[in-house]
Structure 1
Amino acid sequence: MNDIVERYLATWNAVGADRAHLLASHWSASVTYVDPLAAVRGHSGVSAMIDEVHAQFPGFVFTQLGEVDAHHQQLRFRWGLGPEGDEPVVIGFDVVVLDEDGRIHDVRGFLDKVPA
């Protein structure tokens, strides 16, 4: 399941055509994403949300923190957002559910650390 998290975070770090390719290849067209700040559906909704995060935190990158915990078609993991190589400014915890084809179908996000 580490490969799912790698593709998930790669999508969050990607821009333009690279992100569109990752979404088309690894995310269900009917994906649902919900966290304390957003609730979106579909590739366009996820991409627009990622654009907003990039605008708010220019140059920051998402990284995996710790191990992935997974069973059946679901996994959970922690992530950090910050300048590359520095301590994360934002830390979160996501639960991802895959569809029958192994694509990201549902994401439930939680924020553990946010800047003041």
Structure 2
Amino acid sequence: MTAQTLATQYFATWNEPDADRRAELIAATWTETATFVDPSFETHGPDELNKLMGAAQQMFPGLTFVHIGEIDEHHNYYRWTWHLKAEGQEPVAGGTDIVTLDADGRIAHLLGFHDFAPEH
């Protein structure tokens, strides 16, 4: 799977409203023991990740995660940037993710950084 294909599937998963379909997408792109860590959340495994994605959709109704710019890649690492926004609007949040891939090209670990986020 190319870096662009994986990124496309990754963002489609975050934006998928159906939990069962999200689970299928997670299974296709993440390992069974994958971790997701950013300043706000930490998950272990596909079930926790799926719950986090569903919770994010409830926290930010009408907003979607979109990939911005190029994907950097070397060895088994990818780095991409994202925005959280409504169609035609300025983003309300954005960040950079560092992705570690397993030997099969699936996400084993994701370390996220918030470049900007809404005030709490």
Match of 1:19 in 2: 22
- Whose strand fraction is larger, Structure 1's or Structure 2's? 1
Query: What is the identity, as a one-letter code, of the residue corresponding to 1:75?
Result: Y
Match of 1:2 in 2: 4
Match of 1:105 in 2: 108
Partner Cα separation in structure 2 for residue 79 and residue 9 of structure 1: 9
Match of 1:32 in 2: 35
Give TM-score scaled by structure 1 length. Answer: 0.95
Residue correspondences, number: 116
Partner Cα separation in structure 1 for residue 8 and residue 43 of structure 2: 21
Give TM-score scaled by structure 2 length. Answer: 0.92
Matches within 5 A, 1:24-103: 24-103=27-106
List 4+ stretches of structure 1 deviating above 6 A: none
Tell me the percent identity. Answer: 39
Cα offsets for 1:57-105 (capped at 9, x unmatched): 0121110111100011110010000112322111010001111111111
Query: What is the identity, as a one-letter code, of the residue corresponding to 2:83?
Result: G
Query: What is the identity, as a one-letter code, of the residue corresponding to 1:9?
Result: F
Partner Cα separation in structure 2 for residue 41 and residue 112 of structure 1: 23
Partner Cα separation in structure 1 for residue 59 and residue 95 of structure 2: 16
Query: What is the identity, as a one-letter code, of the residue corresponding to 1:5?
Result: A
Unaligned runs of at least 5 residues, structure 1: none
RMSD over equivalenced CA pairs, Å: 0.9
